[in-house]
Amino acid sequence: MRLTMPKTDLSTLLLLAGVVLPILEAGARKAVHPPCSQTCGTGMPAKQNLTYPFGFSPGCPIRLNCTEGGDALIGEFLVQSASPDTVTITIEAMCNRSFGSIDQLYGRNYAPTVKNSVVLDNCTQINPCNVPNTQVIGAQFQSLCKASNKTNNSMSCYSEQANDYSTKFLNRTRLFALGCTYFVSSLSEEEVNNVAVSLGVQILQLEWWVNGDECECSQDSDCVPLSGLPNGGRNGFRCKCKDGFRGDGFLAGTGCQRAKSSPDKKKEEALKVLTIVLPLMVLLVVSMLILGVVYVIRRKRKFAEVLEDWERDYGPHRFRYKDLYIATKGFRDQELLGAGGFGRVYRGILPTSNVDIAVKRVSHESGQGMREFAAEIISIGRLRHRNLVALHGYCRRKRELLLVYDYMPNGSLDKYLYNQPKVTLNWMQRFGVIKGVASGLLYLHEGWEQVVIHRDIKASNVLLDAEFNGRLGDFGLARLHDHGDDPQTTRIAGTVGYLAPEHVRTGRATRSTDVFAFGAFLLEVACGRRPIKQEDTEDVILVDWVFSCWDRGDILEARDPKLGVGFVEEEMELVLKLGLMCSHANPLMRPSMRQVLQYLDGDLLVPESSSIGISSARLTFAHCEGSDSLVLSSSVAESLLSGGQ
Ligand SMILES: *[C@@H]1O[C@H](CO)[C@@H](O)[C@H](O)[C@H]1NC(C)=O
Ligand SMILES: *[C@@H]1O[C@H](CO)[C@@H](O)[C@H](O)[C@H]1NC(C)=O
Ligand SMILES: *[C@@H]1O[C@H](CO)[C@@H](O)[C@H](O)[C@H]1NC(C)=O
Ligand SMILES: *[C@@H]1O[C@H](CO)[C@@H](O)[C@H](O)[C@H]1NC(C)=O
Ligand SMILES: *[C@@H]1O[C@H](CO)[C@@H](O)[C@H](O)[C@H]1NC(C)=O
Ligand SMILES: *[C@@H]1O[C@H](CO)[C@@H](O)[C@H](O)[C@H]1NC(C)=O
Ligand SMILES: *[C@@H]1O[C@H](CO)[C@@H](O)[C@H](O)[C@H]1NC(C)=O
């Protein structure tokens, strides 16, 4: 008896401990995580739909501020969106923003990634910068700052060098060692291929994390442990829901929920039980039946079409997903024609009509806004012109939009200019392509019920049909606005080297910003060179170079040497001069597309350089001081106007 008594006590104690301790522990855990609220000062969720660990109350690991309008802020900067590992913020170009304000981007839980290149002013050091065309970007922001008399062309850009990508973040120590006075703006890489870098202008990407050595992720979530963070050597982590689950993935957040569309595991388990209980034969029959049904259901679900009200108008243009799936052999990699910033393009043959098509898959992150986006694209698709790549129709599926275009057997123009298929186009073909693209663009600008701004004219967006006619493609960036309306200010989009200076400055895409890009395109075709060529010491800017040839009185020296002697001197000279006119820094001095076509057809004569007032200082990319009062005063006027609104 004496011996057993303490034993019972001990086991009771152990039992108690087993029951009580977890409760205490759970209590303690609750206490460690006070609630994190995503409602902003307005009592409404912030417009950016942030999830844990972001929020606005003291309990949030990453606490942000918000504006009265309900927008989330990091420091003085507006948050655009947050993803499971990054936050994108807007850095509006500002010439007088003190350099110190860059410190707001280095938080306890976030820091700028190496994908960013920051635009700085009045630095004491020469900065390394990965943006291939520092000078172009410099010049474009410079024109903004020159107007406010703040700078003497001292703008520069900083990014981590590729061989220093040991870290994922912009090195703060190095940044502050540059001794700069102003933090003007930022560019963030969105897509890199070896042809050109597409840059988001005036945006910056931060990577975020939650501090702590131990992962606190919920069920069905994977933990990403992180070290080497710029937070004083602490470790951190992020949680990410497994495939088929949605949610923030954090233990203290909402965790992960099974996404509705994921396959139902319970059915499979029930099937297993059946195999044990029933005789083999019955089992075989039943499972085959079930498999058959599952197959049919999955097939049905896979190809199900969901039609919304607004789509009725576009009915005839809508393709069935099943047809596109068959046409592209299930979006096989072998059918892939290319991948760009807006999605992957597949080749296909329509099963019913045997027509060759190209299918572009555009994914739309938010799902929301898809409707407007789709409606807009499809309405653009009603455009018909022999120099535009025809859009036959579309298909919408979940967060994806499939656009069905004419198949262009000869691919994009840039390949021929830069010698990839070893054949180059002769001058007659090139001149034909130029005229074609010009008339296509004129149609977009003036020929339809609405003005369509293309926004991304460049050689790689010009496709060649079987007869080597040039056709403008990729309206992915185009936005519509009605004739006479003020074009809306949207996020700047396009490709560096083709962006007009006032587009970067004001964010507005207009007909003349298209003309500017068309000018860069003209020079590209005539010279067989990219608008910006990276060389060891300096980037060579095509416009500057062509201009210097002209200045020396030998503009033909700029022509593509691959053409040999097979070109028409008058036409070559015309195209080069027209390219320079379209590249004028002052939008008012650029010709309209109608005039461009008249020049190309010989109905108008290109004026002498002196009479159109081109001097090197008036060209976009020139950095000369002095006689550019015209450019200056117009940009001053513009900045005053936009400031007053
Ligand atoms: C955020 O969520 C609300 C409600 O679900 C929705 O109405 C809103 O459009 C969403 N905003 C964004 C930017 O996704
Ligand atoms: C929010 O505002 C407070 C007070 O102005 C400031 O100390 C804090 O750094 C801000 N937080 C963020 C993320 O901007
Ligand atoms: C920068 O200039 C703008 C107007 O050009 C002015 O509104 C703003 O207050 C200035 N900011 C600083 C920090 O000087
Ligand atoms: C540029 O920097 C120098 C020294 O760093 C400073 O003295 C000067 O005022 C700055 N210039 C401008 C325009 O801010
Ligand atoms: C900048 O300086 C020029 C002359 O140097 C002057 O005409 C112009 O008004 C100034 N602009 C601003 C915004 O101060
Ligand atoms: C710009 O340079 C000129 C002469 O080189 C000088 O007089 C002027 O003070 C400089 N302006 C600034 C803002 O540094
Ligand atoms: C940042 O740069 C400094 C100076 O070049 C260097 O000593 C430091 O190790 C760098 N930090 C990181 C995290 O790479």
- Is 603 noted as a catalytic residue in this protein? no
Looking at 425-531, which runs of residues are DSSP E strands? Answer: 450-453, 462-464, 470-472, 479-482
CATH 3.30.200.20 fits 309-406, yes or no: yes
**Nearest residue by C-alpha to atom 14 in ligand 4:** 181
Per-residue model confidence (pLDDT) at position 111: 94
The per-residue pLDDT for range 48-75, each reduced to its tens digit, is 888 888 999 888 999 999 888 888 999 9
Q: How far is the CA of 171 from the centre of ligand 7 (A)?
A: 6
Residues of CATH 1.10.510.10 domain(s) within the chain? 414-634
401 Cβ contact list (under 8 Å, min separation 6): 361, 362, 363, 364, 370, 373, 374, 377, 394, 395
**161, pLDDT greater than 80:** no
**Nearest residue by C-alpha to atom 7 in ligand 4:** 181
Ligand nearest to the CA of 120: 4
The per-residue pLDDT for range 168-213, each reduced to its tens digit, is 889 899 899 988 988 988 888 764 444 444 567 788 999 999 998 8
Query: What atom of ligand 7 comes closest to residue 174's alpha carbon?
Result: 2
Residues of CATH 3.30.200.20 domain(s) within the chain? 309-406
The DSSP secondary-structure symbol of 388 reads B
pTM: 0.48
Q: How far is the CA of 77 from the centre of ligand 2 (A)?
A: 11
What is the rounded average pLDDT of the residues 489-501?
Answer: 67
Q: How far is the CA of 81 from the centre of ligand 1 (A)?
A: 12
Where is average pLDDT lowest: 52-61, 130-139, 156-165? 130-139
* Lining residues, ligand 7, CB within 6 Å: 167, 171, 173-174
Contact 414, 421 (CB under 8 A): no
**Binding site membership of 636 for ligand 5 (Cβ less than 6 Å):** yes
**Nearest residue by C-alpha to atom 11 in ligand 3:** 96
**Binding site membership of 65 for ligand 2 (Cβ less than 6 Å):** yes
Query: What atom of ligand 4 comes closest to residue 152's alpha carbon?
Result: 13
Q: pLDDT band at residue 616, thresholds of 50, 70 and 90?
A: very low
**Binding site membership of 181 for ligand 3 (Cβ less than 6 Å):** no
What single string gives the DSSP state of each residue in 244-261? Answer: TEEE--BTTTT-EEE-TT
Cα 533 from Cα 265, distance rounded (Å): 55
Q: How far is the CA of 37 from the centre of ligand 2 (A)?
A: 16
Query: What atom of ligand 2 comes closest to residue 75's alpha carbon?
Result: 14
Q: How far is the CA of 137 from the centre of ligand 3 (A)?
A: 22
**Nearest residue by C-alpha to atom 11 in ligand 4:** 122
Per-residue model confidence (pLDDT) at position 304: 65
Q: pLDDT band at residue 422, thresholds of 50, 70 and 90?
A: low
* Lining residues, ligand 4, CB within 6 Å: 122, 124, 150, 179, 181
Q: How far is the CA of 388 from the centre of ligand 4 (A)?
A: 51
The reply to whether omega before 34 is within 30° of 0 (cis) is: no
The per-residue pLDDT for range 77-92, each reduced to its tens digit, is 999 888 888 899 999 8
**Binding site membership of 75 for ligand 2 (Cβ less than 6 Å):** yes
Polymer length in residues for the chain: 645
Cα 223 from Cα 233, distance rounded (Å): 19
Number of neighbours of residue 58 by Cβ within 10 angstroms: 10
**Nearest residue by C-alpha to atom 14 in ligand 2:** 75
Q: How far is the CA of 76 from the centre of ligand 3 (A)?
A: 13
Query: What atom of ligand 1 comes closest to residue 49's alpha carbon?
Result: 1
Per-residue model confidence (pLDDT) at position 485: 42
Query: What atom of ligand 3 comes closest to residue 639's alpha carbon?
Result: 5
Q: Which fold has domain 414-634?
A: Transferase(Phosphotransferase); domain 1 (1.10.510)
**Binding site membership of 49 for ligand 1 (Cβ less than 6 Å):** yes
Per-residue model confidence (pLDDT) at position 236: 92
Question: Is 422 labelled a binding residue?
Answer: no
**Binding site membership of 420 for ligand 1 (Cβ less than 6 Å):** no
Catalytic residue among 323, 456, 474, 514: 456
Cα 197 from Cα 189, distance rounded (Å): 7
**Nearest residue by C-alpha to atom 9 in ligand 3:** 96
The per-residue pLDDT for range 523-577, each reduced to its tens digit, is 999 998 888 877 766 777 888 888 888 888 888 989 988 888 888 999 999 999 9
* Cα 482-483-484 angle, rounded to 5 deg: 110
Per-residue model confidence (pLDDT) at position 433: 95
The per-residue pLDDT for range 319-342, each reduced to its tens digit, is 888 888 889 888 888 888 877 656
